Amino acid sequence: MIIHLISKKNAEFYELFKESIIMGNMEQDTIPLENLETVFSLDHVDIYYGNYRAVRDVTFTIPKNKVTAFIGPSGCGKSTILRCFNRLNDLIDSFHLNGKINYHGQDLYDSDIDPIEVRKRIGMVFQKPNPFPKTIYDNIAYGARVNNFKGDLDELVETSLKRAVLWDEVKDKLGESGFSLSGGQQQRLCIARTIAAQPEVVLMDEPCSALDPISTLKIEELMHELKENYTIVIVTHNMQQATRVADYTAFFNAEATDKGSKVGFLVEYDHTERIFGDPKHQDTKDYVSGRFG
C-alpha cells in the first residue's frame, strides 16, 4: 500500500505550476546532474534501526552549490536520510546502514572517519530554532572558541550574521540573549551559527515549519544567497517552498510491509521543474497534486 497525501490546495497549486511550465514563465535549469560536481552520492543505501528497515535501496547524487529538496509523506525516510549526511543517526544505538554514502568520493561511514569532523564540514539547522542560552554574540562565537579559532572573533560574528541577513537587525544588541529574538530571527541566528563553523554543506530539516509566512520568505531568500557558497539540502512538507527554493527535488514515498511497519524509498529525483511540471511517475504526480492514489 503506497502512502499518499491528499490536499485540494496542492492540486490547485500543481495545475498552476504545470501551466507556468508550459507557458515558459519559469526558468529551467537543464544541466544534467552527471555534468555537475557531486558532493554526496548514495549507492544502494538501506537504513536500519535494529531489525527494522526504515529506508530501502536509495541511490542518487547531490550536486555542489545547489539546493536539493526532499519531499514526501511523513514516515518515508526524508529526515532519516538527511541525518545520515552528517552522521547524526550514529547517536541512536540501534542505527546501522548498508550500502555507501560518499562525500566527495570518500565513504562517510569508513571506520577511520571521525563523525565530529564530519559535522564540522556538514552543518545542520533543525525544525525549531534552538539558540544557545547565551548572548547573540556568543551564539556565533561559542563554537569557534571551543574549536580554538585563531582568527578575529568579532569579524567572524559579523560576517556570519551578515550572511544570514541578520546583522542589521541585531548589530546594536549583540549582548542580549538569543531568546530575545523573534522565531524567524532565532532561526536565522541558528543558520549564522552553522555558517560560523565554516561548513561546506548546510542541512535543513523543515527549517520554516514553525515560522510565520514573512519569516519563511526571509529564510527562503537566504537559501538562494547561501547556495553561492554552500551546498544546501532541505527537507520540506511545503510543496510551494520546494518549487521556490530547490534546484533539484527528490520525492520519497513509503509502503507498508507484511509486518505492519513502513519502509521508505526514493520514487523520483530530477530538476524541480520536472518533478512538479512533468513527473515521470504517477506516484509523484499524485503526491505533488494532492490527488488520491
HSE-up of residue 177 (Cα within 13 Å, Cβ side) = 6
Q: Is 98 left (phi over 0), alpha (psi -120 to 50) or beta?
A: beta
Q: Is 230 helix (H, G, I), strand (E, B) or coil?
A: coil
- Cα 47 to Cα 58: distance, rounded to the nearest angstrom: 9
Q: Is residue 2 part of a domain?
A: no
pLDDT at 257: 85
pLDDT at 259: 78
pLDDT at 108: 97
Q: Is residue 82 part of a domain?
A: yes
* Residue 250: domain span: 8-289
Domain count, the chain: 1
* Cell numbers linked to 195: 555558517
pLDDT at 2: 40
Q: Is residue 3 part of a domain?
A: no
Q: Is residue 1 part of a domain?
A: no
Which of 197-201, 208-212, 269-273 shows the lowest per-residue confidence on average (mean pLDDT)?
208-212
- Cα 258 to Cα 152: distance, rounded to the nearest angstrom: 58
Q: What is the mean pLDDT of residues 206-224?
A: 91
Q: For residue 100, give the CATH number of its domain.
A: 3.40.50.300
pLDDT in tens, 51-66: 999 999 999 999 999 9
Average confidence score pLDDT of the chain: 89
User: Is the CB of residue 251 less than 8 Å from the CB of residue 265?
Assistant: no
Q: What is the mean pLDDT of residues 17-45?
A: 68
Residue 166 C-alpha from the chain's centroid: 21
Q: Is residue 271 part of a domain?
A: yes
Q: What order do you get walking across the sheet with 52-63 strand by strand?
A: 106-107, 95-103, 38-49, 52-63, 262-271, 248-256, 67-71, 231-235, 201-205, 122-125
Q: What is the mean pLDDT of residues 252-280?
A: 94
Q: Element (H or E) spanning 17, and its range?
A: helix 8-22
Q: Is residue 257 part of a domain?
A: yes
- Cα 102 to Cα 108: distance, rounded to the nearest angstrom: 6
- Cα 263 to Cα 257: distance, rounded to the nearest angstrom: 7
Q: What is the mean pLDDT of residues 230-245?
A: 96
- Cα 45 to Cα 257: distance, rounded to the nearest angstrom: 18
pLDDT at 78: 97
